[in-house]
Amino acid sequence: MKNDLLSPFLIEPNSCCTETYLVIGPFKKKESTVYIINYMQTKFFHFLVGLVKNTQNAMKKVYQFVPIQDFSEPWTDEKLYKKYGLTQEEIDFIESMIRPME
């Protein structure tokens, strides 16, 4: 996992940060946090954020179309496409619009 300003990352308990970061959590299980980070790195997630986000700012409202998942399991684009019944045309569009996270 990259630990830079563009990638989500996990911090340990009793940590703090400035408003520079959007904090998600806390969660009881580290595993759930890792699954959330994986979800946030999917093209599906980035596409839905991109529908609203038109600046570099990531205010709460840019996540309004992003559905919350069951984070007791990992999520991939393929699982998300299947869960939401996306057509191949819709999948191809998302895949063409969003670059993979490195």
Kindly indicate the confidence band of residue 57, based on its pLDDT and cuts at 50, 70 and 90. low
**How is the chain split into domains, by residue range?**
1-102
pLDDT tens readout for residues 5-26:
457 777 777 787 776 777 777 7
pLDDT tens readout for residues 21-35:
777 777 788 888 889
Q: CA-to-CA distance for 84 and 42, rounded, in angstroms?
A: 14
Q: How much is the pLDDT for 3?
A: 42
Q: For a pLDDT cut of 90, what percent of the chain falls above it?
A: 49
Tokens of 83: 């869960």
Q: CA-to-CA distance for 43 and 84, rounded, in angstroms?
A: 14
Q: How much is the pLDDT for 53?
A: 84
pLDDT of 102 strictly over 90: no
Q: CA-to-CA distance for 73 and 65, rounded, in angstroms?
A: 21
Q: How much is the pLDDT for 6?
A: 58
